[in-house]
Structure 1
Amino acid sequence: MAVTATGLAHWLPEASAAPLRETTLGALLAERAAALPGRPALIFDEPQARATWTYAELDAEVTRLAKALLGHGIGPGQRVAVMAANCPEWVFLEYALGRIGAVLVTVNPSFRQGELDYLLRQARVSALFVAGVFRGFDVGAMLAEMLPGLNRGRPSSGSYGGSAYPDLRLVVQIGAAAVPGALPFNGVLEAAPEISEAALAEVAQGVRPEDVLQIQYTSGTTGKPKGAMLTHRGTINNALLAAERAGYRETDVMVSAMPLFHTAGCVCNVMGMLAAGGCLVMMADFDAGRLLDLIERHGGTITNGVPTMYIRMLQDPGLVAGARDLSRWRIAYTGGTSIPPQVMLDLHARVGCEPVIIMGMTECSPIITQTAPDEPLETRVMTAGVPLPHVEIRIVDPVSGETRPVGAEGELQIRGFLVTAGYFDMAKQTRETISADGWLKSGDLAVMDAEGHLRIIGRIKDMLIRGGENIYPVEIEDWLMQHPAIAEAQVVGVPDPEFGEEIFAFVVLHPGKTLEGGALRDWCRTRIARHKVPRHIAFIEATPKTANGKVRKVDLRRMAEEMLEKDTTA
């Protein structure tokens, strides 16, 4: 289906597409296990731990964990947070929670106390599965401060968090690093025999496709993260349709380090391979050389990564020397930021894999548009493709709401099965984002051509994307403003050749106060995740403002780029 014949930038859903699947994540895994029992489904390959699960073995692990969760009182609708780097337990939990109708709340493992505190409260989390250490940071010690009752053992009644977190009744340690007082993951599994197969089946049969599968937190201009509720129906069909368009096969092996706490990991990777019946080779963290090693070792045919990852892979000495066997690598999947066309052209020229570029957002489960493999290479690397089947988009005037002509700039809006069920416990923000007739306002400025290809040219929302991470300046500004020396803080994004964008903070100090950039970064690192710490900091006397007192961020961006240009030419 093409854009409407009126010359307006409005893409109608493809009428010829196969009907949407009405199923749940647990049911789809059971379906694949019955059809492909001996086919490898999941490989975790790290120097300290290597393991493979077939579809039958994965389904058995998920069944055991699902029964154990029920044995610990976790049931339909309850929200369970997972805070860990990529690991097998993360995948087991994703499936098991889906099978019993509980809601997975994804947590960035680099979160610090303030960020985790907000999420546990706002989502009213009942259980927290957590790794004790992440990139050298002692998460267990942080939890000991947040949950003083945790190391006194599991409460017979009430919660670990008392009045601060009244819903939190279970804390489970993932991995070997200590979380004092938490129940070990294997200890959770001991409850599995308490639940019969019939009892699990009864619960699983009650889970509906329209039920919420997971809550993914995404910030906005208010600065308060919002929990986008993604359904079984939305995520499963998103994965199925994206996999079909990209040409995934049952024999495919995807190698990726995309974090599972992102939709790129838990939907595009986990559910994308489930959709095809393929195998996911999962890395705990990204390393260009190791990823290429795994492609060679496991015969990888698909990769999923942000452009920064592909840039580093192209710099690998073995790849540069032509000494790697990457002959089975067929598809390079990417999105999450502006895609440098030359990077994907270089990858195609040197490896032979075909680029597949997507445009997505968390609230859309996540993929909205995707390139088609039968189009010319130049077209594929220059745009974000056309909408997936069953997806409707339009480009509107942000002020009047009128649909813009083809080729004109406007706000991208989306409607269809993929749109979030709303923000958890935030009715006002939901109404502001999703219209009564189902249109989701993306906040992105976009252009659609006559064939429906989408290009994102900017953002109405004040957001930047660093190495595929969505970063919301107002959240960083709120943290900076807590520093006793700072009177005002404004954050903008600036172009960066490696990460796409970098964080530039403008800081106005209180009279008589002094502060250095290095000291401020050190202060930030103890309070916010590493990827949110400003790389560039400028101390100024005052920020530019409009006549009515609003900060002119367009001027700040220009100032930042001029400062960086001056530094590079000095």
Structure 2
Amino acid sequence: MEPSYSRGDCEPPLLDQTIGHNLGRAVAAHPDRDALVDAASGRHWTYARFDGAVEEVALGLLAAGVAAGDRVGIWAPNCPEWVLVQYATARIGAVMVTVNPAYRAHELEYVLNQAGVRLLVSYRRHKTSDYRALVDQVRPACPELRDVVYVADPTWQRLIERGARLSPALLAEREAALRPDDPINIQYTSGTTGFPKGATLSHRNILNNGYFVGELLGYTENDRIVVVPPFYHCFGMVMGNLAATSHGACMIIAAPSFDPAAALRAVAAERATSLYGVPTMFIAELDLPDFASYDLSSLRTGIMAGSTCPVEVMRRVIGEMHMAEVAICYGMTETSPVSAQTRRDDDLERRTATVGRVLPHLEVAVVDPATGATVPRGVSGELRTRGYSVMLGYWNDPEATAAAIDAEGWMRTGDLAVMRTDGYLDIVGRIKDMIIRGGENVYPREIEEFLHTHPAISDVQVIGVPDAKYGEEVMACVILHEPETGLSAAELAAFCRDRLAHYKIPRHVRVVESFPLTVSGKVRKVAMREQAVAELSGPPS
């Protein structure tokens, strides 16, 4: 049988450029087209104006003494200044450290010290977080942190004013010394245990990944993209921002953090052609009471990614949101992030039941997790990927790097996948999420897809919980369309009977109002298990 290995096309060629060089080409080609829109304030930046604003911030950082290779942190929700810092740090060769907006003091302190952040750009306050107070709290314990600049604050204005005293020739001189393989970004991955690890990414990593994602979406300078996911994650800053600027397209900020109504307002007001989100975001948008009142007719494409994409949700996005060319993307922070993507001309089955096929210039393989041997197509194993997108390594953590990337350059994803005969990939779960019930392997995604067809269920996550007899049992955590109606384990078992194998039928049902999420919208199954175990210590469901 054919092995589970696939290599992407070699055309078009990889971009052998820095991010600043690539942006310069877009500015020269499309100076008067929109580059950035802040929907909440109504502010628009053409490419020419955006380039000027990026240069102001870059010169300000140079004036602050930021050298090539220095780490510059950005701790803020989605805002125009975030994007300016992203491109300004790239132009001066600083390594931008993206800090999760949800971090508290101990997490902030860890990241600032682990990355050795020299200058931090921060919001003053967002939602319930007083960022300034948290920075003041940790700053004495962060000896390498010399400067803090706050957005919409006199410190921001001073940064710009200091930079205005420098000659743009200094910036040109700095840029001329940069190379595509230079590290340009550290993104901290949210590990299930211990402290997060800093995936270190280069110009080549993230610029090419954004470019090829945009190529497969058919982006041109006419596209306008509502980037809903947070910029601190690859979904926002790579698949969103870099996919846009590498094609002369427009980035649209709907709101500082996810707001389903704001996202749809931005689509309608700005005549967006593309909308991004994780499945929970699309579900929230579709469930708005006034959903039908938004004019979404300008949409043609977008990306649903970040976690498992339920088939029924995908069908509604295509049918009710006019996103006939919407893509599913699969990847991880350590691979910049996308390794596989569905294509615009894929049939409905491929665009709802798979995560697509390998991107250009990349390789994927499905292997036996224990031996590393490539398995035949149609057989489940661990998905691994290799190519330009694989990170340089975890920042200052060679042991973790060696554990993640093997000697031949293959990145271990930790995801269980099946490669079809046509090269398309089905993700069947996480190795760590797989439930072993009485010796039977149970993959949560299969059950989740089925339970999405239940008329009372709006969303569902399946987890394994301890069981004295079987080792683990299956629990379905459900969000109902009408919570007051409830849903018992017996009722759900009756729905599943004769349609799922007996060992896959949930023994426990937990009705919840929402799922614990990361800032990027991924469901935190570890937290769900902890909550479920605590509840199960009482009377059984």
Normalised to the residue count of structure 1, the TM-score between the two structures is 0.77
Query: Following TM superposition, by how much is the alpha carbon of 1:498 offset from its aligned partner in structure 2, in angstroms?
Result: 5.8
SS in 2 for 1:126: strand
Structure 1's 397 and 131: CA in aligned 2 closer, same or farther, altered over 3 A?
same
Is the aligned partner of 1:31 residue 2:2? no
Query: Following TM superposition, by how much is the alpha carbon of 1:496 offset from its aligned partner in structure 2, in angstroms?
Result: 4.5
Alpha-carbon deviations, 1:123-171, whole Å to 9, x = none?
A: 0111111112121221222222223xxxxxxxxxxxxx3xx32211111
Return 307-316 or 204-213, whichever deviates more. 307-316
Is the aligned partner of 1:329 residue 2:299? yes
Name the counterpart of 1:9.
4
Query: Aligned equivalents of 2:228 and 2:44: distance in 1?
Result: 17
Q: How does 1:188-267 map onto structure 2 within 5 Å? A: 188-220=159-191, 223-267=194-238
SS in 2 for 1:137: coil
Query: Aligned equivalents of 2:253 and 2:314: distance in 1?
Result: 22
Query: Following TM superposition, by how much is the alpha carbon of 1:351 offset from its aligned partner in structure 2, in angstroms?
Result: 2.9
Return 256-265 or 94-103, whichever deviates more. 256-265
Give the conservation status (yes or no) of the 8 Å contact 2:23–2:246. Answer: no
Q: How does 1:39-54 map onto structure 2 within 5 Å? A: 39-46=33-40, 49-54=41-46
Query: Following TM superposition, by how much is the alpha carbon of 1:240 offset from its aligned partner in structure 2, in angstroms?
Result: 1.0
Query: Following TM superposition, by how much is the alpha carbon of 1:497 offset from its aligned partner in structure 2, in angstroms?
Result: 4.8
Name the counterpart of 1:339.
309
Query: Aligned equivalents of 2:76 and 2:474: distance in 1?
Result: 28
Structure 1's 59 and 316: CA in aligned 2 closer, same or farther, altered over 3 A?
same
Name the counterpart of 1:484.
none
Query: Following TM superposition, by how much is the alpha carbon of 1:100 offset from its aligned partner in structure 2, in angstroms?
Result: 0.5
Query: Aligned equivalents of 1:219 and 1:45: distance in 2?
Result: 30
Name the counterpart of 1:387.
358
Q: How does 1:55-454 map onto structure 2 within 5 Å? A: 55-147=47-139, 161=140, 164-175=141-152, 184-220=155-191, 223-283=194-254, 284-320=256-292, 323-354=293-324, 355-454=326-425
Query: Aligned equivalents of 1:530 and 1:232: distance in 2?
Result: 26
Give the conservation status (yes or no) of the 8 Å contact 2:355–2:425. Answer: yes
Structure 1's 78 and 304: CA in aligned 2 closer, same or farther, altered over 3 A?
same
Name the counterpart of 1:503.
none
Structure 1's 91 and 493: CA in aligned 2 closer, same or farther, altered over 3 A?
farther
Structure 1's 188 and 307: CA in aligned 2 closer, same or farther, altered over 3 A?
same
Query: Following TM superposition, by how much is the alpha carbon of 1:222 offset from its aligned partner in structure 2, in angstroms?
Result: 5.3
Alpha-carbon deviations, 1:31-77, whole Å to 9, x = none?
A: 1111100000000021xx33110001000111111111001001210
Query: Aligned equivalents of 1:65 and 1:493: distance in 2?
Result: 52
Instruction: Could you list the structure 1 runs, at least 4 aligned residues long, displaced by more than 6 angstroms after superposition.
Output: 462-465, 529-533
Query: Aligned equivalents of 2:177 and 2:476: distance in 1?
Result: 49
Query: Following TM superposition, by how much is the alpha carbon of 1:325 offset from its aligned partner in structure 2, in angstroms?
Result: 2.1
User: 2:199 corresponds to which letter in structure 1?
Assistant: A
SS in 2 for 1:358: strand
Alpha-carbon deviations, 1:153-207, whole Å to 9, x = none?
A: xxxxxxxx3xx3221111111135xxxxxx6211111111332121110101111
Give the conservation status (yes or no) of the 8 Å contact 1:221–1:461. Answer: no
Query: Following TM superposition, by how much is the alpha carbon of 1:493 offset from its aligned partner in structure 2, in angstroms?
Result: 11
Query: Following TM superposition, by how much is the alpha carbon of 1:563 offset from its aligned partner in structure 2, in angstroms?
Result: 8.9
Q: Percent identity?
A: 38
Give the conservation status (yes or no) of the 8 Å contact 1:246–1:356. Answer: yes
SS in 2 for 1:411: strand
Query: Following TM superposition, by how much is the alpha carbon of 1:13 offset from its aligned partner in structure 2, in angstroms?
Result: 3.2
SS in 2 for 1:128: strand
Query: Following TM superposition, by how much is the alpha carbon of 1:305 offset from its aligned partner in structure 2, in angstroms?
Result: 0.5
SS in 2 for 1:267: helix
SS in 1 for 2:39: strand
Give the conservation status (yes or no) of the 8 Å contact 2:307–2:522. Answer: no
SS in 1 for 2:406: coil
Normalised to the residue count of structure 2, the TM-score between the two structures is 0.81
- C-alpha RMSD of matched pairs (Å): 2.9
Unaligned runs of 5+ residues in structure 1 are 1-5, 148-160, 177-182, 466-472, 474-491, 500-523, 541-558
Give the conservation status (yes or no) of the 8 Å contact 1:221–1:462. Answer: no
Structure 1's 356 and 73: CA in aligned 2 closer, same or farther, altered over 3 A?
same
Query: Aligned equivalents of 1:192 and 1:309: distance in 2?
Result: 39
SS in 1 for 2:117: coil
User: 1:52 corresponds to which letter in structure 2?
Assistant: H
Give the conservation status (yes or no) of the 8 Å contact 1:220–1:461. Answer: no
Query: Following TM superposition, by how much is the alpha carbon of 1:428 offset from its aligned partner in structure 2, in angstroms?
Result: 0.9
Query: Aligned equivalents of 2:296 and 2:385: distance in 1?
Result: 37
Query: Following TM superposition, by how much is the alpha carbon of 1:537 offset from its aligned partner in structure 2, in angstroms?
Result: 2.6
Unaligned runs of 5+ residues in structure 2 are 435-443, 446-462, 464-472, 481-515
Query: Following TM superposition, by how much is the alpha carbon of 1:30 offset from its aligned partner in structure 2, in angstroms?
Result: 1.1
Query: Following TM superposition, by how much is the alpha carbon of 1:289 offset from its aligned partner in structure 2, in angstroms?
Result: 1.7
Name the counterpart of 1:19.
13
SS in 2 for 1:58: helix
Give the conservation status (yes or no) of the 8 Å contact 1:129–1:173. Answer: yes
User: 1:236 corresponds to which letter in structure 2?
Assistant: L
Query: Aligned equivalents of 1:530 and 1:211: distance in 2?
Result: 30
Query: Following TM superposition, by how much is the alpha carbon of 1:530 offset from its aligned partner in structure 2, in angstroms?
Result: 13
Name the counterpart of 1:156.
none
Query: Aligned equivalents of 1:530 and 1:316: distance in 2?
Result: 20
